[in-house]
Structure 1
């Protein structure tokens, strides 16, 4: 059997299979079951800076709107300390998970301002986070905001966080960078230790009957995996950052593909939401069986074996293969 113990971001893991950022981190019993089933680490759901700011502003508006209703109205309200306006509940949850689980717990931070990123990163480190995952999602809606300025802003954020904490920092990216290797080189220069490829965005749809936007969580399928495999395979041996695959892993073969592309670890969410923690044990067994059958004794031997740098036919990863694929396609009977 393949030895599944690995090292990621300086953390010793019993398995490369991780519980990714999701609502599961609010369920301690589910997380304990995931650890018992073989999870190597837990990534908490993101702490959103703008959500904290909105909560704080709402509380202040509530109080300020009533303080002048009576000459002594201010005395009717509790002291501000009574209201938990900030990251307190998230930090308490982090401390609880660290104390209850015998695997590393990674905090996830999604910020909007340089100061907010740094402040909350310090809080997460103080609360005992094993590492921090920075979730970079900067939506450009201003026509004057260029790709270069947006990327520089993100690199500045990463650098500012890395300079303020001592625990490792990993960066979760979208797949929408036009020159991903160059941006990743910038992240490495800024001091990041790892990458997560790629983020899944829960974007609103339209309800045409009600003429309004609707929000619905759509779980991933393994049809989303090739995008991750391509990004990881392209970057393997071209960056010192350790990579995590995220999105589209639903079987042991999916996990094995991520490792063979060059991933150090694999984050899973949708399959756990759909099947529960038992999916971890199933996927662990399937992955181990597949890698063992291929003759790999350790994950290090398997990692990157089918990357752009090592694949027998590396041109399959490249743009020219698109033309070959189209020319080789034949319509099925009955299609026109």
Structure 2
């Protein structure tokens, strides 16, 4: 049997399988079942920058609308308990999960611009989050917004969150950076501790009968995994950030490939939404069987074996494999 304990963001995990951010974090019984089935940690769903800012602005509008109602209105303000602003309910949920689960619980923030909303990272830390996952979900849609300006804005967001807390921060990225290693190096310089590769962007379909967008969640498949494996394999040995694969992990072989590429852990969501917590038990068993048959006694022995860290010229190796693939498609 392979020892599945791993280390991620300074946290000791008994398994590399992590419940990724999803609606499952609203179901305590499901999370308990996931932990029993082998989950090593849980990532909560995200607090969005827009949500936090809108709640703040709504509170101001509520108060300002009553400022000049009558002569005495300037000295009257509603009690703050009338409505809740910010992260209160989220933090209470986080505290509940910390009490109920015996694995690390990671808070999650989703933002695209530096600003006052990043102070809520402190609220998550105070509520017991053992780390924070910062989700950089930012699609370029403005032709004047260059790749460099977008990346610098994102690095400013990471830096502002890192500066707010003493707990580790991991950054969840998209696969659409033209120079991913350079951007990851920039993240490392902010003081962040890890990266999650990759976010699955919202991709709406079209309903031609109704001439409107079709907003349906499409679960991932193992076919999405190679993009993640390639990125981790390239980055391994070039960064001190701990890497996690997210997206496309549905089998034990998928998880084993991620570890062999250089990942410290893997996040699972779609398999759980499709099969329930039993998926974690199955993936754990399959991964252990595969790594044991390969002769690895621990994840540390297997990690990075199939990375590109030992390739003398990664760029030349990549182009050679590309040419071979095109010439040998039959």
Same fold (TM over 0.5): yes
Listed as ranges, the gaps of 5+ residues in structure 1 are: 331-336
Tell me if structure 2 keeps the 8 A contact 1:137–1:173: yes
Q: In the TM superposition, what is the alpha-carbon distance from 1:72 to its structure 2 partner?
A: 9.8
Q: Residues 204 and 214 of structure 1 are in contact (CA less than 8 Å); yes or no, is this contact kept in structure 2?
A: yes
Question: Residues 208 and 136 (structure 1 numbering): CA distance in 2 closer, same or farther, change over 3 Å?
Answer: same
Could you tell me the TM-score, scaled by structure 1's length? 0.91
TM superposition shift of 1:125:
0.9
Q: Distance in 1 between matches of 2:322 and 2:24?
A: 38
* Shift in Å, 1:117: 4.6
Contact 1:202 / 1:216 at 8 angstroms: preserved in 2? no
Give secondary structure in 2 for the equivalent of 1:118: helix
Between stretches 107-116 and 166-175, larger displacement belongs to 107-116
* Distance change in 2, residues 1:156/1:313 (3 Å): closer
1:248 matched residue in structure 2:
248
SS at match of 1:304: coil
1:265 is aligned to 2:273: no
Once the two structures are TM-superposed, the CA of residue 6 in structure 1 deviates from its matched residue by 1.1
Is the deviation greater in 123-132 or in 45-54?
45-54
Query: Partner of 1:195: helix, strand, or coil?
Result: strand
With 13-22 and 120-129 compared, the bigger mean Cα shift is at 120-129
Distance 1:207 1:78, change over 3 A: farther
Q: What is the count of residue pairs matched by the alignment? A: 330
Q: What do the CA deviations read for 1:150-173 (whole angstroms, capped 9, x no partner)?
A: 111111221222222110010000
RMSD over equivalenced CA pairs, Å = 2.6
Aligned residue in 2 for 1:320: 320
Which is further off, 257-266 or 146-155? 146-155
Note closer, same or farther for the CA distance 1:274–1:116 as it changes in structure 2 (3 Å cut): farther
Going from structure 1 to structure 2, the CA distance change for 1:117 and 1:135 (only over 3 Å counts) comes to farther
Q: Conserved in 2, the CA contact under 8 Å of 1:315 and 1:321?
A: no
- Matches for 1:173-212 after TM superposition, within 5 Å: 173-212=173-212
Residue 37 of structure 2 is matched in structure 1 by 37
Query: Helix, strand or coil: the match of 2:138?
Result: coil
Match of 2:6 in 1: 6
SS in 2 for 1:97: helix
SS in 2 for 1:128: coil
Q: Does 1:97 align with 2:94?
A: no
Range that drifts further, 57-66 or 232-241: 57-66
Larger mean CA deviation between 197-206 and 168-177 belongs to 197-206
Q: Distance in 1 between matches of 2:69 and 2:155?
A: 48
User: 1:299 and 1:112, CA in 2 relative to 1: closer, same or farther beyond 3 A?
Assistant: same
In 2 relative to 1, CA 317–93 (structure 1 residues): closer, same or farther, beyond 3 Å? farther
Q: Which residue does the alignment assign to 2:54?
A: 54
Q: In 1, Cα distance between the equivalents of 2:144 and 2:117?
A: 24
Alignment of 1:116-135 (within 5 A): 116-135=116-135
Contact (CA 8 Å) 1:306, 1:312: kept in 2 or not? no
Deviations along 1:164-218, one digit per CA (max 9) or x if unpaired, are: 2110010000000000011111111111110100000123222221112221100
- Note closer, same or farther for the CA distance 1:174–1:304 as it changes in structure 2 (3 Å cut): same
TM-score w.r.t. length of structure 2: 0.92
State whether residues 37 and 277 of structure 2, in contact with CA within 8 Å, keep that contact through their aligned partners in structure 1: yes
Mapped to 2, the partners of 1:96 and 1:88 lie a distance apart of 12
Q: Equivalences for 1:137-286 in 2 at 5 Å?
A: 137-286=137-286
